[in-house]
Each structure stands twice: as structure tokens, then as C-alpha cells.
């Protein structure tokens, strides 16, 4: 039948860890230890990528690259990427278990989608070692996809490459890319979906792109919430998202809308 068969979800900022704070704070810390002060915005910009690629992307930013050259009298190299990552991984692993709470509405929404017969896959920017902490902890709290994969299993080609999505499609036996919906909270998630030819959906509240904790979001006035939701949505749409949803509870209704589009012959990127 011409309808959605599977949904592929990101992890931090989409299904667990509201605001995606676990890795961001560590990125800031490791650069600070090297004598480089980076901003929260700079640390968040490459979110969703494999973490080593994330470090490389930060070092390539003009301001950070200039600061690095000023401090060390040379451009950064791959050895610097490796050194920073060597600091990053153990620091993240030591704190990761604190950031595995499912985001509100996720557990209920996933259960509803599974009841409707949809298969639930996932991709991530985390390594397998990191997921060995996250997956069992999230399971204890009620969240478990049918399949997940890390860039470790795609020769370290993480987002925005589409290979993790392809592996989901294969394992879950989904019959066509246009019958798959990818939901994520970063620009890297959207690009991954676009490159794979699946429906690209950005989730707004709790996203890394929005970058607010649950308390910070709730402290905003309704008007300010509306503004930041709109601004975040625009970023996703500008980068190729087919749709955005405020939160996960809107996903089942969106899938029904996509089912109608698919039945009309529409494909991702052409609605």
C-alpha cells in the first residue's frame, strides 16, 4: 500500500535529553581546557554529526580557527581533532546516564505508532560505546525503538551522509524511501533525511536547534515561545525539511497527512 511504513527517530534532543545538553557542555569544556572559549551557539551548530566530525567542524569555524592559530601559531590539524576527541569521549561517557530521560510525549507517541503497525528505527551522532549507556537506560524509562544504528557501523560516515537511514530501511524491511519519515532536532538530521530521499521532519520544542532546557522554555511568555518556535521551524525548512512539528504528539496526525500526499503521488521534497 502507498503509505508510511516506518519512522526513523534521532536520539538526543528528539526522543531523550530535552534540549540536547549532554554533549554541548562537554564540547565547551574541552575547548576551554585548550584555552579557547567557544560560545553555546558555536558548540551547537554542528549538532547531530558524528562527534569527531563535530569537533572538526567547530575547529573549521572562522572565529575558532583564528583563535586556534593565534594561540598555537599554526592551523589546527587532524592530531588536534584526535586530541580533543580523546578528552571529549571519557567526559561525555561519565555524565551520559544523566541525560537519558525520554522527552515528554515520546513514549506515548511511539507506542501509538507501533500500535498502528509502523516500524520505529533510529539514527544518532553518538558512538556505539555511548549508546551502550543510553539505550538500556532509555529502555528502563519506557523508550525502545525497533532498531538503532551508530556511525560505527557505517565506516564512521555519519550525518549528513544517508547511510544510517539506508541501514534502517534494510533492517526494518521498508519497501521504499518515500514510505519513510525521519524526525530529528538538528540541521544535520534534516540533511541526512534529504540525502536519503525520505520525508524530513524537524521537531521544535526540546530540540538542540532551539537550545533551551524544559524549564527555560516554560519560563518564556507565550508570545516569546511562539517566536522561538517560528524561528526554529524556519531554520529547518530552509535546510530542506518537508515539515516541522511542535512536539512529538503531532507526529501521528502528520503521518496521516503524509499518507494522503503519498496516495496522491507526492514524494519527499515535492509537496
Does residue 270 register a pLDDT over 90? no
29 marked as part of a ligand binding site:
no
Report how far residue 255's alpha carbon sits from residue 6's, in angstroms, rounded to the nearest whole number.
Answer: 10
**What is the predicted pLDDT for the residue at 101?**
96
Instruction: Specify the DSSP class assigned to residue 102.
Output: B
Q: What is the mean pLDDT of residues 68-81?
A: 96
pLDDT, tens only, 182-220: 999 999 999 999 999 999 999 999 999 999 999 999 999
Catalytic status, residue 83: no
Catalytic status, residue 51:
yes
- C-alpha angle 236-3-267 in degrees, rounded to nearest 5: 45
Catalytic residue chosen out of the listed positions 17, 51, 53, 179: 51
**Residue 185: its H or E element:** none
Average pLDDT score, the chain: 96
Domains of the chain by range and CATH?
A: 6-20+99-263 (3.40.50.1000), 22-98 (1.10.150.240)
pLDDT in tens, 80-135: 999 999 999 999 999 999 999 999 999 999 999 999 999 999 999 999 999 999 99
Residue 10 labelled as part of a binding site: yes
Buried/exposed 166-195: b ≥16 CB within 10 Å, e otherwise: bbbbeebebeebbbbbbbbbbbbbbbbbbb
Look at residue 271 in the predicted model and tell me its pLDDT. Answer: 64
Average pLDDT over residues 38-53: 94
Could you tell me how far CA 44 lies from the centroid of its own chain? 11
> Which pLDDT value is given to residue 250?
98
The pTM for the full model equals: 0.92
Amino acid at each position: 500500500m502507498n503509505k508510511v511504513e516506518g519512522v526513523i527517530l534521532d536520539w538526543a534532543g528528539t526522543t531523550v535529553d530535552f534540549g540536547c545538553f549532554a554533549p554541548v557542555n562537554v564540547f565547551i569544556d574541552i575547548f576551554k581546557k585548550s584555552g579557547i572559549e567557544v560560545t553555546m551557539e558555536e558548540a551547537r551548530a554542528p549538532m547531530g554529526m558524528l562527534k569527531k566530525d563535530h569537533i572538526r567542524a567547530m575547529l573549521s569555524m572562522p572565529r575558532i580557527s583564528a583563535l586556534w592559530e593565534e594561540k598555537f601559531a599554526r592551523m589546527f590539524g587532524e592530531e588536534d581533532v584526535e586530541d580533543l576527541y580523546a578528552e571529549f569521549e571519557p567526559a561525555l561517557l561519565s555524565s551520559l546516564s544523566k541525560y537519558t530521560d525520554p522527552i515528554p510525549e515520546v513514549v506515548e507517541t511511539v507506542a501509538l505508532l507501533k500500535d498502528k503497525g509502523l516500524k520505529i528505527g533510529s539514527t544518532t551522532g553518538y558512538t556505539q560505546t555511548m549508546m551502550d549507556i543510553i539505550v538500556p537506560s532509555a529502555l528502563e524509562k519506557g523508550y525502545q525503538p525497533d532498531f538503532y544504528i551508530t556511525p560505527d557501523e557505517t565506516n564512521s560516515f555519519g550525518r549528513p551522509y544517508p547511510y544510517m537511514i539506508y541501514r534502517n530501511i534494510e533492517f526494518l524491511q521498508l519497501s521504499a524511501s518515500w514510505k519513510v519519515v525521519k524526525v530529528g532536532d538538528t540541521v544535520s538530521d534534516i540533511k541526512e533525511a534529504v540525502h536519503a530521499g525520505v520525508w524530513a521532519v524537524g521537531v521544535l520544542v526540546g530540540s538542540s536547534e532551539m537550545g533551551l532546557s524544559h524549564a527555560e522554555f516554560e519560563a518564556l511568555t507565550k508570545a516569546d515561545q511562539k517566536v522561538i518556535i517560528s524561528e526554529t521551524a524556519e531554520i529547518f525548512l530552509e535546510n530542506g525539511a518537508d515539515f516541522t512539528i511542535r512536539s512529538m504528539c503531532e507526529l501521528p496526525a502528520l503521518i496521516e497527512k503524509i499518507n494522503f500526499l503519498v496516495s496522491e503521488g507526492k514524494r519527499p521534497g515535492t509537496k
